[in-house]
Chain A
Amino acid sequence: MLKIIIPTAMLMPMTWLSKPNMIWINSTTYSLLISLISLSYLNQLGDNSLNLSLLFFSDSLSAPLLVLTTWLLPLMLVASQSHLSKETLARKKLYITMLITLQLLLIMTFTATELIMFYILFEATLIPTLIIITRWGNQTERLNAGLYFLLYTLVGSLPLLVALLYIQNTTGTLNFLIIQYWTKPISTTWSNIFLWLACMMAFVVKMPLYGLHLWLPKAHVEAPIAGSMVLAAVLLKLGGYGMMRITILLNPTTNQMAYPFMMLSLWGMVMTSSICLRQTDLKSVIAYSSVSHMALVIVAVLIQTPWSYMGATALMIARGLTSSMLFCLANSNDERVHSRTMILARVLQAILPLMAAWWLLASLANLALPPTINLIGELFVVMASFSWSNMTIVLMGTNIIITALYTLYMLTTTQRGKYTHHIKNINPSFTRENTLMALHLLPLLLLSLNPKIALGPIY
């Protein structure tokens, strides 16, 4: 594990000591190399985990997420070059340092063995994200957005600390590798119900669950492009990952306690998809679609069947790449027209045909077109929830239809339509942007050839 952590940590002094015209090149290249190192962790041994040390381990659930995280750093750096070009050198280096710190903390979070260490790093990832949103965001509302983001997540996760300390006291260890064999079924007393809530609250806010999702549209819309990418791709998956780890300790209370959250997720899925249909801000559409898909993951994790766990993992990886790509596309629009409103930039297919191809592919992936892993994830979750209760198929089916509706609405509004005069002179697509889209899409398409990497520990 050190072979990833030390290079990532050393990226920081490298950024500060680079020559001004080499900061982007150096950081992007070396972070790409680090992501290639992390690919070796995908070679998992069956049911068991790869125990790297007393502190770090990786199994088939955390390895794909780890690779996603390390893959995303070079992509974030490539995406941020344009909007940072007018900042001073020190600010650029500071921004890159924030991204690298966030990367470091995320790598350690996904591979932590001790749950307390996981918790500390989970909280620590909030700080660089907050700094990125509030310092480099676009508008005055970013302060509000940062506040919402910070307070929602903090308040949600404080009970988790108490719960973890309690579990440490009763079971004597919080090392995940040990505790998964040491769990006893817990009875349904009031204190155990509160314990369950305390454990779950943090992750449920992070996912986010429908009733607690207010911070997400604000944070995603006001964040700069790299902030949006890392939020959508990785930070939301922290919630899913944490939930999947911690539900092992909480049987069988989950069977009763999960009902309200299941209901909220099922209903929220359809609700947020419908909200997407009425959104006018491009980034807002993508943010709400993130909420909608993560609601599927919540449903899957709370059902706790093998198929649903496979679906949840696949969906998390797929969403990571898809929503990050959609944010990059929205950002390329924003940089040209200087506005995020969808109706002000239309007929882009006629002016930027290659970008239209990327838009099409990203939208098709968002729609869960076969054979992408988006479809595998959604399909597994739908099937598992159908076997849990037949009625859920109605809501899931509605959600799939509305997802298709708003994705196509987004596609046709930006790519087709009537020509207006103020988009006559937008810049053609840069190679940098095309590379960015290709690097997002390539893993997604390759995974559809070999999805078992992304299907998690149960496969």
Chain B
Amino acid sequence: MLRRTLLLGLCRGPLGRGLGTHRGGSILGKVEGRGGYRGSWMAPSSSSVTFRTQDPAHDVKTVGRLGGGDRDGKMSEIKKKIQSILPGGDWNPLYDTSHLPPESSDVVIVGGGVLGLSVAYWLKKLEKPRGAIRVLVVERDHTYSRASTVLSVGGIRQQFSVPENVQLSLFSIDFLRNINEYLAVADDPPLDIQFNPSGYLLLASEKGAAIMENNVKVQRQEGAKVCLMSPEQLRNKFPWINTEGVALASYGMEHEGWFDPWCLLQGLRRKVQSMGVLFCRGEVTRFMSSSNLMKTASGEEVNLKRIHEVHVKIDQSLEYQPVECAIVINAAGAWSGQVAELAGIGKGPPGTLQGTKLPVELRKRYVYLWHCPQGPGLETPFVIDPSGTYFRREGLGHNYLGGCSPTEEEEPDPGNLEVDHDFFQDRVWPPLAQRVPAFETLKVRSAWAGYYDYNTFDQNGVVGPHPLVINMYFATGFSGHGLQQAPAVGRAVAEMVLEGHFQTINLSSFLFSRFYSGEKVQEHNII
């Protein structure tokens, strides 16, 4: 009891909301956790929700913090009921609506992966008066079992050909290196994202050497530290490489490597909840919008739509809640195309702006984990072969992660996340064994599959508002490098929402309108 009151006191201290806020938040605070839904008053350490393992299901009714016992459970039930009826609680005499999202929210973020949470974080961080904007994150799977974020290999590199991509990654690595300054929550342990700064090694054959040199020049201009290596230098530095067919290699010396995406996700989630963002477990099924026929400056008529309500359907139930909103952010990852279709994007004659769909699709990619006792040592960077095969070291026990992107013809069916082991035998192992002779003897330990939110247009992200559905902002379509650019993209979208233009990194070439005008921002270094 004393511990609970102490924790209550500690809870309220750093957050200190006034009594007269329009949110009508509970003065007494809710000590029990509910899967992270009512997050505005709780410091997560005091609740029964832990963020290191998977969240308990949101419909946990008993609290049981002090241990088991049915009488304890009943007592806390009664206490909970009394607390909710007293002024300050959210008592609804008709029926329990605690599992439903609020009836209105200023910003609704569809998708709770790393991009959605990053946008939520930066929205709450950059809003001028603190606590101005109410944000709701709608995520249909709180275990993140099919989300691209947690199934990702977790690499971060600056070796891109498009300068904006390099800038995005540079800011993101700065964010990750100082993650405990950005995402610190009072009373919670610091985050350890296990960043291995081993760098990326991109190998190029004769054909690609000139492009690689160009790319390295662009990267160096933006401030990335990349060095070019000839085959002899490669052999000196990495004796386990077979440099046959390699003309040039670029090696990132700083700020490149890999990290634990699950830790970043949970860190963001914890921080974002402490900033007052509401989470909802549900699926967006409908957008209600109103449209206005307006004339542009040149006299042509356009139909501008505004989404004013989002219907969020609760899992395994027919119940849905209409959420009145001012802004919708599409951060649904691989499913962003479907969400965009719900908003009516792409419904029109092809070739017009109304008929331009969001070209983001699900693409399945495999990742294999193998063990090779004679394999390369601890200095192994993230190696990308000219054939598109890649691998990196995993842990300290001679385990390696790797895979390969299939060509257009052999794209697997994205209906499920089943792994095709023959793909490893046929497409991944031979180039690997050729590049690193030690990999001729290896044993595959496990494998998994994940989705890329693949942008079929130019494999680069879509950021910013849609020209016709004026209050839908995109933060999706990064085709495999979304995780590493998430912090910077989140900040860019938040700036776009709050200020109306990009302030720090200019991503105007990543806007949706390029799909209509046909200007591709082709990224050459996509794996």
Contact = CB atoms under 8 A, between A and B. Distances in A.
A151 B133 contact: no
Interface stretch (B99-107, B338-346, B418-426): B99-107
A341 B106 contact: yes
Interface stretch (A100-108, A158-166, A413-421): A413-421
Contact of A422 (B19, B22, B465): B465
A138 B104 contact: yes
Contact of A143 (B91, B133, B327, B500): B91
Nearest to B90: A140
A153 to B, nearest CB: 14
Contact of B500 (A140, A145, A283, A420): A420
Contact of B92 (A140, A151, A281, A338): A140
B435 interface: no
Interface residues of A, number: 40
A279 B131 CA distance: 9
Contacts of B128: 343
B129 A278 contact: yes
Contact of A140 (B87, B102, B291, B304): B102
Given A281-B22, A339-B325, A140 B97 contact: yes
Contacts of B497: 420, 422
Contact of B20 (A275, A344, A421): A275
B104 A139 contact: yes
Given A341-B132, A344-B133, A425-B306, A284 B22 contact: yes
Contacts of A92: none
B103 A421 contact: no
A421 B292 contact: no
B25 to A, nearest CB: 9
Contacts of B496: 421
B326 interface: yes
A275 B87 CA distance: 22
B327 to A, nearest CB: 6
A403 B24 CA distance: 25
Nearest to A418: B500
B327 A425 contact: no
Nearest to B327: A422
Contacts of A139: 102-104
Interface in A247-289: 275, 278-281, 283-284, 288
B127 interface: yes
B106 A344 contact: yes
A419 B498 CA distance: 9
Interface stretch (A177-185, A214-222, A392-400): A214-222
Classify the interface of chain B: helix, strand, loop or mixed: loop
Given A144-B24, A338-B325, A422 B90 contact: no
Interface string A134-146: 0000111101110
Contacts of B103: 138-140
Contact of B129 (A218, A275, A343): A343
Contact of A344 (B102, B326, B470): B326
B470 A421 contact: yes
Nearest to B304: A425
A338 B24 contact: no
Contacts of A337: 326
A244 B19 CA distance: 30
B470 to A, nearest CB: 5
Contacts of B106: 339, 341, 344
B499 interface: yes
Contacts of A284: 20-22
Contact of B134 (A148, A341, A419): A341
A423 to B, nearest CB: 8
Nearest to B499: A418
A279 B21 CA distance: 8
Interface string A321-361: 00000000000000001111111100000000000000000
Interface in A402-451: 418-422, 424-427
B186 to A, nearest CB: 22
B326 A425 contact: no
A124 interface: no
A35 B470 CA distance: 43
Contact of B18 (A222, A275, A338): A275
Contacts of A193: none
Contacts of A14: none
Given A140-B97, A421-B470, A280 B87 contact: no
A383 interface: no
A422 B306 contact: yes
Interface in B111-138: 127-129, 131-134
Contacts of A138: 103-104, 324
Interface in A281-340: 281, 283-284, 288, 337-340
B12 interface: no
A420 B292 CA distance: 17
A341 B21 CA distance: 12
Nearest to B305: A425
A4 interface: no
B294 interface: yes
Contacts of B19: 214
Contacts of B58: none
Contacts of B133: 280, 341, 343-344
B20 A288 contact: yes
A147 interface: yes
Contact of A425 (B127, B309, B470): B470
Contacts of B90: 140-141, 143-144
A270 B91 CA distance: 33
Contacts of B21: 284
Q: Return the 3 tightest CB-CB contacts between A and B, nearest first.
A: A141-B24, A280-B132, A339-B326
Interface of A: 138-141, 143-145, 147-148, 151, 214, 217-218, 221-222, 275, 278-281, 283-284, 288, 337-344, 418-422, 424-427
26 contacts: A140-B102, A140-B103, A217-B20, A218-B22, A284-B21, A284-B22, A288-B20, A338-B104, A338-B326, A339-B325, A341-B132, A341-B134, A342-B132, A343-B128, A343-B129, A343-B133, A344-B106, A418-B501, A420-B499, A421-B500, A422-B327, A422-B470, A424-B304, A425-B292, A425-B470, A426-B306
Given A148-B87, A280-B131, A421-B471, 5 more contacts: A337-B326, A338-B309, A339-B104, A344-B106, A422-B470
